[in-house]
Structure formats: C-alpha cells, structure tokens
C-alpha cells in the first residue's frame, strides 16, 4: 500500500476513534475556549449596553443607534462559512481564533477613541463608526466556525457534539459578565471605561491562548496532520446541491433565521428598552436577570429531549415539540410585553423570552447534525450565516420603527409575527431525517 494512503487512513482512524488531545489538553482547551467565548460575547454586548449613554452624548437618533448596532452583523455574516471554516481547516482553528481575538479585543478597547474622533468626519461620523463595527463583526464571525474546526480536528466523533455544545454556554456567561461588571463600571466610571475594561480582558485572554494553551502544541508534523483531518467535511466536498434541493434543509435554515431575529433584536435593544421605559431601574438588574434564565432552560430542554427520545418518539417529532415550546413561550411573553407598563412584568417577560432560546438550542440549532451528519459543521456555518442576517436587518428596522413611531409594542409584535412564520415553516417542512 502507498505510504501516503497508509498515512491518510491512519490519520482519519486516529481522530474518528481516538481524541488527538489527551485528558489534560482537553481540560486546558475547554477552559480556554469557554473563557474566550465568554469574552467574545462580553465585547459583543458592550455596545448594546452602552448605546443609550453613547447616543445621549453623541446625539444619535434611534435610527443612528440601530445602524450602529446592526452594522456589527454585516461583518459577522461575511466571514463564517468561507473565511472562518476554510482558513481554520487550512491553518488551524487556534491560529484563526487568536488572530481574530486580537482584532476584536483591540477594536473594543479603542472604541471610545473611535467614537470621540468620529465628529471630525462631520457627515461621515456614523459611517466611520459603522465601518469599524463591520470590521469588528468580521473578526468575531470566525470564532464559532474555527471552534468547530479545532474540535473536529482534535476530538473523536463521539465527543465533538457535547464538547462544542458546552462551549456555546460561554455566550450566556459573557452576556452576564457585561450585564454585571459593565453596568457597575458604567454607573461609577462612565461608558468609556466599560469598553476599556472589557477590551483589556479580551487582550489578556488572547495572550493566555497564545502563551498557555497553544504552548502545549505537539511537534509540527502532528499539527500539520491534524489540519488535514476530515477533508470530507471541507466546503469543497459538501454536496450543497443535494441539500439545497430539500425542503427540510431550508426549513432548518429559515426557522433559525426567524428565531435569531427575536434573539438579536432583544440582545441589541434590551438595554435601551429598559433605559427608555424604566429610567430609574438598576442597570445591573435589567442586564443580568433576563440572561440568568438561558443556562437552566437549555439544560431543561436537553433533559426533556432526552426523555422523549428515550420513549421512542421520532427525532423529527421531538425537534418540532421542543422548537414549538420555544416559540410558544416567547410569543406569549412578547404579547404581554407589548401591553404592559409594569417594570416587573416586563422584566419577567424578557426573562422568559431569553429562556425560550434554550429550547431552540436543543431543536433547530442541532438539526444540522440530523440532516447532515457528515457535513454538520459546514451546514451549521451556512445556517448561522443566514441566521445572522436578521442581526442587521431586524436590528436596523427595530431602530427605524422606534424613530418613526416611538412604539415598542410594534417592535415586539413584529418579532412575534416572524416567530409565527418560523414555527409554521418548521412544523410543515421540518425533519430530522438525514439528507446525505
């Protein structure tokens, strides 16, 4: 047998059946990547937290605020599938994560200077800030595809899903960090120091990644072999046409986009909603309490999914039930929020809406693993790219609605209507049967 062929077979067998990382390396990389995801979301949610204070100082309108908030997702959608996945497979996910982390950390740290210098551009002040936000989003867009690539190159097939799933919980941790620490710094030191502190923490994490986690890499020959693992999952070998021709694929993608519209609109506008409607409310309360519901709801939905599958319910039925729970609790809460003026009712409803995302994380979010078990990373990347589109369309339109109508109920009603569209699509066309 040809030596190259023997090496290829041995390499694939190693990673499919045995982790390339040992137990210590798994622990180091898990803690490092979990912390990195936390810092990623902390920097991402810093602008939504601070936009009321920044807008008041810079005299931004609601449309300006919506443009600045949504522009992040313009860059975020551009780098997920091709840049994040391709470069991670080619050069190593850890290197792409490191390069990107330096970028989004520095831009966050320098954001006060960027905002202060923007008026010198006169009529181009907002476009200048928007450009920086797009670049920031592009840096952050590679993080999750790179983590998928890194874990798939170093973990056996039975470990990848649970390992990556646990890493995504860092997003809730990062949002909570911004809500607690960011609110405290904002109240006592001002908005510029929030960017400084969170940006500095991101830079510190990048140094830990480079000089601690990556310092334990094995010799270059093994590293090069890891980068070539699972070529069958690369973008070039994914049978996209077969996926594009199946309604279940589009049901997964479009339902995810509908749910992400609700999530991103609230992620971006939640601090402004409470700031405008309940100006005397404590910032750390409104920016922390709603996000506390996400981890337990995710675990409960995971438990419920396991119980239903253990009772021999079909995977397709279980996915639809869990996703229906997500949309049901969110739409009931959105309906109540659009008609209440009570602070505690609004806070409870917002907590329920964020918690509903935990059900989505155990339904449509994992559906790519059902539909494309051999190409789940690539399909997930495409799904997440389409899911990020509402990040700039939905967030911008919410700002435009608020500018024209001053109506939060209209924003909530629009989100509920889009949720209903997503629910209908998944109920009719959704499936968990493998396409390839």
282 and 198, same structural domain?
Answer: no
CB count, 10 Å around CB of 220? 8
Is residue 421 within 8 A of residue 228, CB to CB? The reply is no
Would you state the pLDDT for residue 136? 96
Is residue 435 within 8 A of residue 375, CB to CB? The reply is no
Domain boundary among the residues 232, 258, 273 is at: 232
Q: For the domain that residue 357 is a member of, what is the CATH number?
A: 1.20.1250.20
Residue 246, classed as helix, strand or coil, is coil
State what percent of residues in the chain have pLDDT above 90: 50
| Residue 117 to residue 105: CA distance in whole angstroms | 19
Would you state the pLDDT for residue 146? 84
316 and 188, same structural domain?
Answer: no
Would you state the pLDDT for residue 11? 43
246 and 141, same structural domain?
Answer: no
Low-confidence residues in the chain, pLDDT < 70 = 1-19, 81-82, 84-86, 157-162, 165, 216-236, 377
Structure-token pair, residue 345: 């009712």
249 and 218, same structural domain?
Answer: no
Residue 29, classed as helix, strand or coil, is helix
299 and 152, same structural domain?
Answer: no
198 and 259, same structural domain?
Answer: no
> In Å, what is the CA distance from 356 to each residue of 85, 263, 343, 359?
29, 10, 20, 6
Is residue 104 within 8 A of residue 40, CB to CB? The reply is yes
DSSP secondary structure letters along 73-111: HHHHHHSIIIIIIIHHHHH-HHHHHHHHHHHHHHHHHHH
User: What residues make up the domain containing 428?
Assistant: 238-436
154 and 130, same structural domain?
Answer: yes
Count up the domains in the chain and report the number: 2
222 and 197, same structural domain?
Answer: yes
Would you state the pLDDT for residue 220? 39
281 and 211, same structural domain?
Answer: no
348, 354, 355, 356: CA torsion to nearest 10: 110
Domain boundary among the residues 174, 204, 232 is at: 232
336 and 228, same structural domain?
Answer: no
Would you state the pLDDT for residue 195? 97
**Can you say whether residue 22 is alpha, beta or left, with left for phi > 0 and alpha for psi between -120 and 50 degrees?**
beta
Nearest to 151 by CA among 80, 231, 93: 93
> In Å, what is the CA distance from 329 to each residue of 145, 353, 366?
30, 7, 20
Nearest to 11 by CA among 119, 153, 138: 153
Domain boundary among the residues 177, 202, 232 is at: 232
191 and 71, same structural domain?
Answer: yes
Backbone angles phi, psi at 142, to 5 degrees: -85, -10
266 and 289, same structural domain?
Answer: yes
């Amino acid at each position: 047998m040809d030596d190259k062929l023997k090496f290829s077979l041995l390499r694939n067998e190693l990673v499919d059946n045995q982790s390339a990382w040992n137990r210590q390396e798994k622990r180091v990389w898990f803690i490092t990547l979990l912390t990195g995801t936390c810092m990623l979301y902390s920097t991402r949610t810093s602008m939504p937290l601070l936009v009321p204070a920044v807008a008041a100082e810079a005299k931004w309108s609601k449309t300006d605020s919506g443009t600045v908030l949504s522009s992040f997702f313009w860059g975020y959608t551009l780098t997920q599938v091709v840049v994040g996945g391709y470069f991670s497979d080619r050069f190593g996910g850890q290197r792409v994560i490191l390069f990107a982390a330096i970028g989004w950390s520095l831009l966050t740290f320098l954001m006060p200077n960027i905002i202060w210098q923007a008026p010198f551009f006169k009529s181009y002040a907002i476009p200048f800030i928007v450009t920086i936000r797009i670049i920031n989003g592009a840096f952050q867009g590679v993080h999750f595809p790179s983590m998928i690539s890194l874990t798939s190159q170093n973990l056996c097939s039975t470990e990848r899903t649970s390992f990556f799933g646990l890493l995504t919980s860092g997003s809730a941790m990062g949002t909570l960090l911004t809500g607690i620490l960011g609110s405290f710094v904002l109240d006592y030191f001002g908005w510029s120091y929030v960017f400084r502190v969170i940006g500095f923490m991101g830079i510190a994490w990048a140094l830990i990644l480079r000089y601690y986690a990556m310092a334990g890499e094995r010799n270059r020959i093994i590293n090069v072999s890891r980068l070539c693992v699972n070529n069958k999952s690369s973008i070039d070998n994914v049978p996209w046409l077969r996926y594009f021709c199946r309604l279940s694929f589009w049901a997964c993608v479009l339902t995810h986009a509908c749910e992400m519209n609700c999530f991103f609109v609230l992620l971006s506008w939640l601090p402004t909603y409470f700031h405008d409607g309940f100006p005397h409310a404590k910032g750390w309360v409104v920016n922390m309490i709603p996000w506390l519901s996400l981890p337990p709801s995710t675990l409960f939905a995971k438990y419920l999914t396991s119980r239903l599958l253990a009772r021999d319910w079909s995977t397709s039925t279980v996915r639809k039930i869990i996703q229906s729970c997500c949309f049901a609790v969110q739409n009931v809460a959105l309906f109540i929020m659009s008609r209440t003026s009570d602070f505690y009712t609004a806070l409870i409803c917002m907590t329920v809406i964020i918690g509903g995302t935990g059900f989505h994380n155990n339904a449509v979010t994992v559906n790519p693993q059902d539909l494309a078990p051999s190409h789940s990373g690539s399909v997930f990347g495409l799904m997440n790219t389409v899911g990020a589109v509402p990040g700039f369309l939905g967030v911008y339109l919410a700002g435009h609605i608020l500018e024209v109508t001053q109506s939060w109920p209209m924003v909530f009603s629009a989100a509920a209507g889009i949720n209903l569209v997503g629910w209908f699509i998944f109920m009719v066309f959704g499936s968990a049967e493998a396409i390839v």
